[in-house]
Amino acid sequence: MFPIVPALAYDPAARSSTLFVNTALLHYRPHQSLEFAVGRDQLPNGVNIPDLAVFVRSRNRLGYYDAPTQVKMYWGRKRYHVMPFAYAPGGNEPSGEAESGGGTLAELDVLGNSRTIAGLTVQRGTATNGDRRMVGAYARLRFGQWGILAEHDVTDRTRNGPTLAAFRQTATYGQVFWAVRDWLVASGIGERVRVEAPFAQHLAAGKLEIAARLSSQARSSSARGSSGISSLTAW
């Protein structure tokens, strides 16, 4: 069972399916620095961590079953790239939640060493039940064996109903990691989400994680979060 985003009053989860294709893209590269892609995929996003349950993914419609039909362009040089995109519903959204929109992701290699990446994301989506406008900033930093992943998103939402509800959602993610070996990484992770009335919510979470890559095709991880429950998974 793949994880899905939580069903929220202002953002119901996409429907799961026994058979589901979440990535199927056709690529065309007319130039070394220019590429186009058309098909199904998750939308471009900041630090692009694999954990689908963190707030910067689950609250921004970036779960496993959120794979809209889209066209995107990649244009870049050695120290920067820009990725504008437009998308249409993927077909598995709940009634009234079929969203269309567009946006841009842009990032810069600040020092030109591929270890100091700063980026910006902008997105606007519209659906029958409500719209959202998101602006986010992120960073991927590496200093020898240490590194930092960070992202902060601000989303202005509207929900249609008997009366129009307009509110703001903010989500923050931070991870400090230490590559003990090439195959062993220890991390400390913190995150928070805050939603304004009428869907007021304020949550914070943290965990320690150890991930080990056993081979090029196998990996295991162990994590202990604020709930005090530890887990071990392998794939």
Cβ atoms < 10 Å from Cβ of 161 = 9
Reported as a single tens digit per residue, the pLDDT across 74-120 is 999 999 999 999 999 988 888 899 999 999 999 999 999 989 999 99
Reported as a single tens digit per residue, the pLDDT across 177-235 is 999 988 899 999 999 999 999 999 999 999 999 988 776 554 445 554 443 322 232 22
| 57 phi/psi in degrees, rounded to 5 | -110, -55
Three state DSSP letters for 17-47: CCCCCCCEEEEEEEECCEEEEEEECCCCCCC
pLDDT at 54 over 60: yes
Asked: is 24-234 a CATH 2.40.160.10 domain? The reply is yes
pTM, whole model, 2 decimals?
0.85
**Which has more pLDDT, 13 or 132?**
132
**What percentage of the chain carries pLDDT values higher than 90?**
68
Give residue 231's pLDDT.
29
Separation of alpha carbons 23 and 3, rounded Å:
16
Give residue 155's pLDDT.
97
Provide the residue ranges of all domains of the chain, joining segments of one domain with +: 24-234
Give residue 215's pLDDT.
60
Contact 106, 83 (CB under 8 A): yes
